[in-house]
Structure 1
């Protein structure tokens, strides 16, 4: 039997601010949000269907491109342009990490952690995959 991923841990300067930002961006809930002096805050989807994220206070300042990042899909009923505008309004910034001309948008959260906003919704991806020949 293989281990189960408990959560994804994210180093940051302000775990409360980062958890609030990402919870709003993803529509997730605070699973564990202790008082403001604590160094850890956790968020997860309301149905707990995905691995939650744990934000940890660290003294280090982010200095290079992330080695791990989230890829977000616009929800069904939305599109990339709408979600891009919403994330930028929340405080994300567009960044150039040398991605060139691609179909996704590279963004950074308020502490500069990169993430990508993909073009297709879950339903569009499922339809594209279903249309592929078996193989």
Structure 2
């Protein structure tokens, strides 16, 4: 028996607003767009293309009410620059009890979904891959 990871599903009051926001943040492409569903895939030809699971935003009637049980961790080349860019796009820094001495920044998208922007890998860490 074989299972392949196809996508991460994100409930959204408005997939056509939230999907494009994430597409811009990640530099991904929208490959499916209807009133009820928006699908994002990595940029065609990128190292993530065909490897990373899709992001599927599905319309739901209810709003977000509690902390996410699953969230995305994003690894940047420059953490400060990506945090600033996300904030300029409408993301917000949040405290979910992580404390101030962590190497990641917890943020929410415009719909309140948490995600983290991690520290950049050091050159030594990159060389080990």
| TM-score bracket for the superposition, by shorter chain length | 0.7 to 0.9
1:45 aligns with 2:47: no
Q: Distance in 2 between matches of 1:10 and 1:124?
A: 34
The count of aligned residue pairs is 123
Q: Distance in 1 between matches of 2:54 and 2:122?
A: 19
After superposition, the Cα gap between the structure-2 partners of 1:100 and 1:42, relative to the gap in structure 1 and judged at 3 Å, is same
The structure that has the greater radius of gyration is: 1
Where does structure 1 differ by over 2 angstroms across 4 or more consecutive aligned residues? 121-127
Match of residue 46 from structure 2: none
Match of residue 62 from structure 1: 64
Q: How does 1:82-97 map to 2 (within 5 A)?
A: 82-97=81-96
Q: Distance in 1 between matches of 2:67 and 2:119?
A: 22
Q: Distance in 1 between matches of 2:98 and 2:41?
A: 29
Task: Deviation per CA, 1:29-64: give whole Å up to 9, x if none.
Answer: 001013xxx211100101333111100010111111
After superposition, the Cα gap between the structure-2 partners of 1:68 and 1:30, relative to the gap in structure 1 and judged at 3 Å, is same
Q: How does 1:1-135 map to 2 (within 5 A)?
A: 1-34=1-34, 38-46=35-43, 47-75=49-77, 79-101=78-100, 102-121=102-121, 125-127=125-127, 130=128
Q: Distance in 2 between matches of 1:69 and 1:123?
A: 26
Unaligned runs of 5+ in 2: 44-48
Aligned-residue RMSD, C-alpha: 1.8
After superposition, the Cα gap between the structure-2 partners of 1:49 and 1:84, relative to the gap in structure 1 and judged at 3 Å, is same
Q: Distance in 1 between matches of 2:51 and 2:24?
A: 17
- After TM superposition, the score normalised by the length of structure 2 is 0.88
Unaligned runs of 5+ in 1: 131-135
